[in-house]
């Protein structure tokens, strides 16, 4: 079987769950199968949008991010459910457990997709047989459909998995790029959003082939160093490895909320900031990091948005500290008009174990009282190892390998990592 694998290079799968939230609900309640189903956030409020929907709903034109009222207009018989994130996390954990039975090199990307490097997994069969086996097991054990891309690198695997949905398996080799990818509109390329596509069209780059054959200097001048990466990808090149530890590679932690109505009252807005600070604090502690910069985002009823940040002398993670900084930023930069959305983000993150606190006149006395305890902990760690005493939150969450936040990012993916 080993001869079926390349002597040089990698074999990478991209496993992408199909209509994940809706599919999980159908697996949980089979009576929903075959019906137009949508999962929507804040169903009762104006900000209700479609998070995902079944393929039956998509036939009517219902799409992700579409306002709920518009979706119901297109599909009057649309069934609408609120998200059940605990249920989705459990299904996600089950899916990644199956993937890890084929390879140790599994990199979660989000709650419903991940990369698997199967270069050394020839004992399980050919690459295509492994893909078929994974797809079959996920369907039989979890009652969930998925599409899989098989390719020599992550970019091509991702592009391949999008080509046949639902329940598709697509092999995309580098030699297939000119025929399969180049004719596509550049906006269909993974990594190119609508705004980037508009910029590229401004210099005559309309297709993936145009990008592949573009002038490097011109593309870099237009969209920076990322332009060179995109040009490489358009030519089928991607040197990124599948990294199981990439799930913990994050740069910021934030939460935002769209208010159910436009709010003018300052005290009410500050209370919203308090709730956001609690969420951000919980996520920072769950990741065992502290923020050295805090940002506040304010969106007004006319949709004008401002974001202001403050660099801190000492890293913070408690809800009280975050709320204090965020409130001051808000007061300094709020223009008094009605607010539609508020957000708090912690950036420039440092790990708890590596954070060095710069004691000042106000914190010295409080920290000094903790010195005997810290000294005792230090001696225990020195004698028995750094893991002898762990944060209780980390210990509990590692037992379950799932998170509790509802963000659409890697917070879902803390299998064998720090949970929330």
Q: Which residues contact 362 (CB under 8 A, 6 or more apart)?
A: none
Q: Are residues 120 and 210 in the same domain?
A: no
Q: Are residues 145 and 200 in the same domain?
A: no
**DSSP H stretches of helix in 103-153:** 127-142
Q: Are residues 119 and 213 in the same domain?
A: no
Range of the domain at 342: 247-413
What pLDDT sits at residue 129?
Answer: 96
**DSSP H stretches of helix in 288-318:** none
Retrieve residue 323's tokens. 């709320």
Phi, psi for 366 (deg, rounded to 5): -65, -45
> Tens digits of per-residue pLDDT, 316-337?
999 999 999 999 999 999 999 9
In angstroms, rounded to a whole number, what is the distance separating the alpha carbons of residues 319 and 317? 7
Query: pTM of this prediction?
Result: 0.64
Residue 241 resides in a domain: no
> Tens digits of per-residue pLDDT, 71-94?
999 999 999 999 988 899 899 989
Retrieve residue 334's tokens. 């709020």
Q: Are residues 148 and 223 in the same domain?
A: no
Q: Are residues 18 and 122 in the same domain?
A: yes
Q: Are residues 32 and 167 in the same domain?
A: yes
Reference 116, options 126, 105, 131, 101; nearest CA is 105
Asked whether residue 280 carries a pLDDT value surpassing 90, the answer given is: yes
Lowest mean pLDDT among 119-133, 297-311, 367-381: 367-381
What pLDDT sits at residue 7?
Answer: 76
Asked whether residue 402 carries a pLDDT value surpassing 70, the answer given is: no
**Catalytic: 113?**
yes
Phi, psi for 154 (deg, rounded to 5): -65, -45
Q: Are residues 68 and 196 in the same domain?
A: no
In angstroms, rounded to a whole number, what is the distance separating the alpha carbons of residues 413 and 95? 11
Residue 366 resides in a domain: yes
Averaged pLDDT, 258-284: 94
In angstroms, rounded to a whole number, what is the distance separating the alpha carbons of residues 165 and 121? 25
Residue 335, domain CATH? 3.30.1490.100
In angstroms, rounded to a whole number, what is the distance separating the alpha carbons of residues 136 and 130? 10
Asked whether residue 273 carries a pLDDT value surpassing 90, the answer given is: yes
> Tens digits of per-residue pLDDT, 218-235?
999 998 888 999 999 999
Q: Are residues 227 and 253 in the same domain?
A: no
Residue 177 resides in a domain: no
Q: Are residues 10 and 159 in the same domain?
A: yes
Residue 80 resides in a domain: yes
Asked if residue 112 belongs to a known ligand binding site, the reply is yes
What pLDDT sits at residue 400?
Answer: 31
Averaged pLDDT, 109-126: 93
Asked whether residue 270 carries a pLDDT value surpassing 50, the answer given is: yes
Residue 189 resides in a domain: yes
Residue 419 resides in a domain: no
Residue 223, domain CATH? 1.10.150.20
Is the pLDDT higher at 399 or at 21?
21
| Catalytic hit among 113, 132, 198, 274 | 113
Q: Which residues contact 292 (CB under 8 A, 6 or more apart)?
A: 311, 312, 314, 315, 316, 347, 348, 349, 350
Q: Round the average pLDDT of the chain to a whole number and report it.
A: 84
Asked whether residue 123 carries a pLDDT value surpassing 60, the answer given is: yes
Long-range contact pairs involving 304-310 (C-beta distance under 8 Å, separation at least 24) = 305/341, 306/333, 308/332, 308/333, 309/347
Which of 212, 234, 256 is the endpoint of a domain? 234
Is the pLDDT higher at 393 or at 139?
139
Is the pLDDT higher at 400 or at 154?
154
Residue 25, domain CATH? 3.30.70.270
Which of 171, 192, 220 is the endpoint of a domain? 171
What pLDDT sits at residue 2?
Answer: 67
Asked whether residue 365 carries a pLDDT value surpassing 50, the answer given is: no
Q: Are residues 229 and 312 in the same domain?
A: no
Q: Are residues 151 and 195 in the same domain?
A: no
**Cα atoms in the Cβ-side hemisphere of radius 13 Å centred on 357:** 14
What pLDDT sits at residue 174?
Answer: 95
Asked whether residue 416 carries a pLDDT value surpassing 90, the answer given is: no
Q: Are 402 and 93 in contact, with CB atoms under 8 Å apart?
A: yes
Q: Which residues contact 15 (CB under 8 A, 6 or more apart)?
A: 95, 99, 113, 114, 115, 116, 134, 138, 146, 147, 148, 161
> Tens digits of per-residue pLDDT, 239-250?
999 988 765 555
What pLDDT sits at residue 304?
Answer: 85
Q: Which residues contact 330 (CB under 8 A, 6 or more apart)?
A: 269, 270, 273, 296, 298, 342
Total tally of structural domains belonging to the chain: 3
Q: Are 297 and 332 in contact, with CB atoms under 8 Å apart?
A: no
Q: Are residues 12 and 115 in the same domain?
A: yes
Residue 87 resides in a domain: yes
Is the pLDDT higher at 374 or at 259?
259
Percent of the chain with pLDDT over 70: 80
Lowest mean pLDDT among 60-64, 142-146, 204-208, 252-256: 252-256
Lowest mean pLDDT among 157-166, 181-190, 401-410: 401-410
Asked if residue 210 belongs to a known ligand binding site, the reply is no
Residue 121's Cβ-count burial label (10 Å; 0-12, 13-18, 19+) is: buried
């Amino acid at each position: 079987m080993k001869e079926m694998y390349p002597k040089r290079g990698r074999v990478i799968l991209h496993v992408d769950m199909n209509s994940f939230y809706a599919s999980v609900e159908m697996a949980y309640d089979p009576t929903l199968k075959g019906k137009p189903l949508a999962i929507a956030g804040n169903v009762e409020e104006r900000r209700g949008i479609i998070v995902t929907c079944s393929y039956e709903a998509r036939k009517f034109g219902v799409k992700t991010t579409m306002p709920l009222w518009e979706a119901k207009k297109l599909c009057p018989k649309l069934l609408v459910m609120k998200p059940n994130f605990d249920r989705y996390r459990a299904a996600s954990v089950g899916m990644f457990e199956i993937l890890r039975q084929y390879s140790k090199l599994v990199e979660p990307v989000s709650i419903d997709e991940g990369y698997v490097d199967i270069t050394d997994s020839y004992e399980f069969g050919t690459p295509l047989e492994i893909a078929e086996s994974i797809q079959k097991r996920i369907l039989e054990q979890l009652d969930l459909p998925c599409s899989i891309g098989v390719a020599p690198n992550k970019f091509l695997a991702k592009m391949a998995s999008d080509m046949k949905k639902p329940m598709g398996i697509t092999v995309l080799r580098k030699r297939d790029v000119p025929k399969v990818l180049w004719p596509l509109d550049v906006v269909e390329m993974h990594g190119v959003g609508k705004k980037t596509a508009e910029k590229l069209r401004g210099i005559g780059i309309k297709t993936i082939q145009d990008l592949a054959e573009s002038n490097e200097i011109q593309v870099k001048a237009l969209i920076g160093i990322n332009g060179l990466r995109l040009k490489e990808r358009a030519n089928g090149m991607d040197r990124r490895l599948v990294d199981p530890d990439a799930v913990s590679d994050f740069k910021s932690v934030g939460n935002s909320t769209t208010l159910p109505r436009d709010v003018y009252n300052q005290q009410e807005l500050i209370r919203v900031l308090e709730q956001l600070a609690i969420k951000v604090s919980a996520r920072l502690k769950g990741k065992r990091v502290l923020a050295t910069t805090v940002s506040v985002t304010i969106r007004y009823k006319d949709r004008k948005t401002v974001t202001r940040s403050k660099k801190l002398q000492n890293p913070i993670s408690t809800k009280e500290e975050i709320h204090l900084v965020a409130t001051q930023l808000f007061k300094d930069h709020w223009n008094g008009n009605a607010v539609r959305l508020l957000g708090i983000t912690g950036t420039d993150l440092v790990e708890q174990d590596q954070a060095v606190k710069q004691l000042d006149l106000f914190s010295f006395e409080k920290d000094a009282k903790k010195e005997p305890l810290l000294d005792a902990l230090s001696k225990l760690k020195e004698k028995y190892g750094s893991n002898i005493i762990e944060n209780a939150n980390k210990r509990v969450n590692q037992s379950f390998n799932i998170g509790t936040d509802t963000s659409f990012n890697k917070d879902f993916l803390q299998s064998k990592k720090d949970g929330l």
